[in-house]
Structures are given as structure tokens and as C-alpha cells.
Amino acid sequence: MKYETVKSLKNSDFKRLTGVHHSTFEKMLKVVQTSLRNFGRPPKLSRADQLLMTLMYWREYRTEFHIGIDYGVSEATVCRTIMKIEHVLLASGQFTLPSKRTLLEECSSEELVIIDATEQAIERPKKNKKNTIAERRSITPKKLKY
């Protein structure tokens, strides 16, 4: 799926597809375009398509093989592209998640759960001679002979 077909979607549909709003996508695209150099052979996918591919990989977590089939590139190219885009976005410092400690402090509403795990008496049948079958000991061999 190319970016040209997706960019005309409504903001809510674009967010459902990629996980980010159009404005966030545009900011990410500016960072990617300024950070990555063009050298050598031109890439098969544009920077917008590379970013869209990475976002859809994060969103859907499909295999790189399937993504490569959709975009017409090899599995190795998908892997390299995702790693490259991740590195650029993290290095920019604009698109990081809050730390685990911050997330834990924000949702520090503690709940108390009490579980009653006391033992309960179970009514079991009484053992008596009528209910049990006594097996004779002579049936079991004392020594096995080969």
C-alpha cells in the first residue's frame, strides 16, 4: 500500500490504519527526510512509503515477508528499512515514549483485591467393607520368572 493512496483518508481513518494522526506523520516524515541521506542507487520506496511501511509494521505486527510482498521488496529490505526508520526517529528525540516509571506513577491508583482461599470441608463417602473390594494377595506374583 503506497502513501499516495492513503494520504487522502480522513484523519480518523488514517489514525486507525497507521496509529498516528496526519500531523504526526508529517512531522515524522520531515525528520526522516532531513536525517537520511540520498546516496547510491535510488531506493525503490519513497521516504513516505518507508515510514508508512514502518508504522504499519508496528501497528499490525505482520511478518516482514508479507509486508515485502505487499510493497514489492525483499524481506531483508523490509528489515533494513524498519531498523533505519526506527533509528532515525529515536535519534531525533521527538518521538519517544515516556519511561516505565512515569507510566507507573501516572496510573498509581492501587486496587485492593481480597481472595477468600480458606479450606472448605468436602463431604466424602465413608470407607466400609461393603464399598471396598479386597483383592487377594495371591493374585500378585512374588517373583517374576523369565
Other beta carbons within 10 Å of 80? 13
Alpha carbon distance 34, 30 (integer Å) = 6
- The torsion angles phi and psi of 142, rounded to 5 degrees, stand at -80, -40
Domain range list for the chain: 3-98
pTM over 0.85: no
Q: What is the mean pLDDT of residues 4-19?
A: 86
Q: To the nearest whole number, what is the mean pLDDT of the chain? A: 81
Positive or negative CA dihedral for 7, 11, 16, 22?
positive
Q: What is the pLDDT of residues 15-36, one digit of tens each?
A: 888 888 888 899 999 999 888 8
pLDDT score of 115:
75
Q: What is the pLDDT of residues 66-110, one digit of tens each?
A: 999 989 999 999 999 999 998 898 888 887 766 777 767 766 666
pLDDT above 60 (res 119): yes
Distance CA 67, CA 71 (A): 6
Cβ-contact 89, 95 below 8 angstroms: yes
Average pLDDT on 127-139 reads 61
46/98: higher pLDDT: 46
The pLDDT of residue 49 = 92
| pLDDT on residue 126 | 72
